[in-house]
Chain A
Amino acid sequence: MATATQLSAPHDSGRSGLWSWITTTDHKRIGILYGVSAFVFFLIGGLEALFIRLQLARPDNTLVSAETFNQLFTMHGTTMVFLAIMPLSAAFFNYIVPLQIGARDVAFPRLNAFSYWVFLLGGLFLNASFLVGAAPNGGWFGYVNLTSRQYSPGLNIDFWVLGLLVLGIASLAAGFNFIVTIINLRAPGMRMMRLPVFTWMTLITQIIVVTAFPVITVGLVFLMFDRFFGTTFYSLAAGGDLLLWQHLFWLFGHPEVYILILPAMGIVSEVLPTFSRKPLFGYAVVVYSGALIGFMGWGVWAHHMFAVGLGPIADSVFGATTMLIAIPTGVKIFNWLATMWGGQVRFTTAMLFAMGFIAMFVIGGLSGVMHSNPPADLQQTDTYFVVAHLHYVLFGGAIQGLFAGIYYWFPKMTGRLLNEKLGKVHFWVTFLGMNLAFFPMHFIGLLGMPRRIYTYRPELGVETMNLVSTIGAHIIAVALLVFIYNVWRSWRRGEVAGNDPWEGATLEWTIPSPPPDYNFTVIPEVVSRLPRWSVTQMKAIPDVPPEPIHVPGGSYWPVVAALGIIGMATGAVAYALWIVLLSGAVLIFSIYRWAFEPFEG
């Protein structure tokens, strides 16, 4: 029932309880599942970061051993990339995209649920490695031949390889789902160039996902085969080339960073216009830039390999392409600034985080452009200078963008606003903490401190800056505690939001907060890019559906299939073939049952 007083967590009274969540195929619930799970993994990754920073707070420190430290930075990176940022973005893909395009759900709801469960089980699988004292320890990029069986005989890298293969399945499935959804499930009148920018960025991101993940899948399969079956892909003795891994990894890895940033850019492109009360400046250009970034992102991967000896021609080519990709990125920045210029700016927390994104991402972009020059990069690579760069773009950029999205869309998802005072504390403390944590890293790096070392000598002269960085990291943690408190308080007792607390322009603000199961009482007919701001108003959406709307029930086959997949991974890491085969049988069986069960998608 779509009334303004529907304030509970988004489910009808007949669909509550654990089982309804396990079998849900509702994109809104799946979005919340992604969001909560991702946030928990984000905190775990954050804890790993705090331990890293505590160890590095003083030279010659002995808080953790070198081996533990290797596990900490490997898991920090792997967790933040695959278990925090990507699924946090997915939370918004899931919840918001169908609403923005005027759809009732995604194209393949059960496949959607499957993606989530595979992600969760994959993340748990990766972290289960800690329980057996064998967390991955070869860096998030797993370079061979350090990660080959010869030099990494334990289970650590097995967990890593299998975990990433499993997570890749989740991402690919979601990729196909959202591509079809965005192309095919748009409401009448919602032409492609009327799509909200967030939805556009989602589409481009998914195209990158389905093209880049196969490449790393192949690279990982080679490593897995080497480790399990003794193949020679990365074997020097057999004439193999260790650079093959690096090429395959970074062919995926560079597009991956655009997977990480484009959704946040999409969020910023929604938040800025709303709180400037002004349409996005240069909508078409912003969309084309996003597409260009996605496409050009395929041409720069070897800038991660400037120090391996590719030769002057390769170095020059990749240096040039890397510099070129700064152009569409810069274009977006100017369009965002022009959006705010002359607007009636409201400094809500969401807006602050969006503006923070721009500022911090520009800093990260500047250090990035510095890396694009191969001779300069020879000094910067593998030092803390790169750590500074990546945290400015990924924390200062992606994470801030995602927080902007949380403050912006939390009211839509829960029917209540997050507290603005606490939000501002969260923002400013984060801003302080992040700059204290990451800015000194530019200097630490240029002074010669390498990455991924568990300690350093006092003679290097970076002691104070490391300490400052550690303090900054802890300030970020404090800010997060404020945020968590805000969420906990506001979920049930926050100020009631209503359909449209921000006077937004796009379709999600036309329906109640939280939306009813079926989203729209009638599928809207869209007449402009900014349905709620345009002079030609679209027909109002009735409060009550004119005829009963059938919403598909849940299904447990996605969960069972996901269990089959993780069973195969578990069997592999346990070197128990029978578990692999049994789980494979479960997977095949569940796919058949899934295919033939009556389900009105």
Chain B
Amino acid sequence: MSDHAGNASGSHPGTGTYLAIAAVLLIITIVEVGVFYVPAFKPILAPVLLTLSGVKFSLVVMFYMHLKFDHALFRMIFTLPLLLALGVAIALMFLFGAFGLRH
């Protein structure tokens, strides 16, 4: 149990939680790869995979990087640039015609 400043708030996940999360990450990855190979999923491949990997992303960030339990300032410092990067990516995709928008 670390006791330095920054972990003061909230509970601290134990080894059990970490192992459980690792198991979840593994399972989701297997599902993702499975979905990739199942032809029936082809039309909804992108949204399904993005959702699944979004879950993996959140789990690692919130639990392994401890963001769920840490001071809100850290959440802000991470989320703002993350949303910015997402916004930039989406804007660029629009501007390069990725969504088929004839502008």
Give the interface of A toward B (CB within 8 A): 183, 210-211, 215, 241, 243, 247, 251, 298, 302, 310-314
Contacts and interface: CB of A to CB of B under 8 A. Distances in A.
B88 A215 contact: yes
Interface string B67-86: 00000010000000100100
Main secondary structure of the interface of B (DSSP, over half): helix
Contacts, number: 24
Nearest to B73: A183
Interface of B: 73, 81, 84, 87-88, 92, 94-96, 101, 103
Contacts of B103: 310-314
Nearest to A305: B95
A183 B71 CA distance: 13
A310 B96 CA distance: 9
Nearest to A211: B81
A215 to B, nearest CB: 7
Nearest to B96: A241
B95 A314 contact: yes
Contacts of B101: 313
Nearest to A210: B81
Contacts of B73: 183
A285 B84 CA distance: 24
Main secondary structure of the interface of A (DSSP, over half): helix
Nearest to A310: B95
A319 B81 CA distance: 24
24 contacts: A183-B73, A210-B81, A211-B81, A211-B84, A215-B88, A241-B96, A243-B95, A243-B96, A247-B92, A247-B95, A251-B88, A298-B84, A298-B87, A298-B88, A302-B95, A310-B95, A310-B103, A311-B103, A312-B103, A313-B101, A313-B103, A314-B94, A314-B95, A314-B103
Contacts of B95: 243, 247, 302, 310, 314
Contacts of A311: 103
Contacts of B81: 210-211
Contacts of A183: 73
B28 to A, nearest CB: 29
A-B complex: 10 closest residue pairs judged by Cβ atoms: A311-B103, A313-B103, A211-B81, A314-B103, A211-B84, A314-B95, A247-B92, A298-B84, A251-B88, A312-B103
A251 to B, nearest CB: 6
Contacts of B94: 314
Given A314-B95, A314-B103, 10 more contacts: A183-B73, A211-B81, A215-B88, A241-B96, A247-B95, A298-B87, A302-B95, A310-B95, A313-B101, A313-B103
A251 B94 CA distance: 15
A247 to B, nearest CB: 6
B79 to A, nearest CB: 12
Contacts of A241: 96
Contacts of A310: 95, 103
Nearest to A184: B73
A215 B92 CA distance: 12
